[in-house]
């Protein structure tokens, strides 16, 4: 059991590191200040994850599967700690097809992030329309992402 716990902790660290490096180096910083929330967001192809990390988090690793990662920080607190929220929303493509997103909360130490998946075709653009609530306020986040099949 200890080996499994250590392995999952290591995978979590790799997962978090991957998103930190990938989002900073390739996509710059996608962040919007929405009321008391600093919302960091990104959408990538699931094949960027290693098979071990995908398995550990229950993510389908496919060249036709996108992963949406959202993290919310409380900008009213010193050091802007992670904030527990509820996220719901949809993804709409250029044909007007709408897919509901189901976000899964992942907690690793002080970090909290929310993951959802969406199927896509090569060069398909999705328009994300999310609602984020922390129990006291409801905020809307909209962004788009074009996905490629590698």
Token readout for 35 is 């009321």
Q: With b meaning 16 or more CB within 10 Å and e meaning fewer, what string describes 43-81?
A: bbbbbebeeebbebbebebeebbbbbbbbbbbeeeeeee
Residue 19 in this model has a pLDDT that exceeds 60: no
Instruction: Write down the pLDDT at residue 89.
Output: 98
Token reading at 122: 């090569």
> By mean pLDDT, which of 13-22, 75-84, 118-127 is the weakest?
13-22
Please, which pLDDT band fits residue 113 given cuts at 50, 70 and 90? very high
Q: What CATH number does the domain containing 136 carry?
A: 2.60.40.3340
Query: Is-above-0.85 flag for pTM?
Result: no
Question: How far is 59 from 57, CA to CA, in rounded Å?
Answer: 6
DSSP characters for 32-88? EEETTEEEEEEEEEGGGS-HHHHHHTT----TTEEEEEEEEEETTSTT--B---EEE
Q: Domain containing 25: what range?
A: 2-147
pLDDT, mean over the chain: 86
The count of other CB atoms within 10 Å of the CB of residue 12 is 18
Q: Tell me how many domains the chain contains.
A: 1
Q: Is the pLDDT of residue 22 over 60?
A: no
């Amino acid at each position: 059991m200890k080996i499994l716990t250590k392995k999952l902790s290591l995978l979590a660290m790799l997962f978090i590191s991957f998103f930190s490096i990938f989002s900073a180096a390739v996509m710059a910083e996608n962040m919007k200040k929405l009321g008391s929330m600093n919302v960091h967001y990104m959408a990538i192809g699931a094949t960027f994850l290693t098979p071990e990390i995908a398995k550990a988090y229950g993510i389908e690793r496919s060249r036709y599967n996108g992963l949406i990662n959202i993290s919310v920080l409380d900008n009213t607190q010193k050091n802007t700690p992670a904030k527990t929220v509820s996220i719901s929303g949809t993804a709409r493509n250029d044909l007007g097809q709408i897919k509901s997103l189901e976000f899964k909360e992942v907690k690793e130490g002080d970090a909290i992030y929310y993951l959802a998946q969406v199927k896509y075709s090569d060069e398909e653009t999705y328009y994300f329309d999310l609602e984020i609530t922390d129990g006291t306020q409801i905020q809307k986040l909209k962004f788009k992402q074009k996905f490629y099949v590698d």
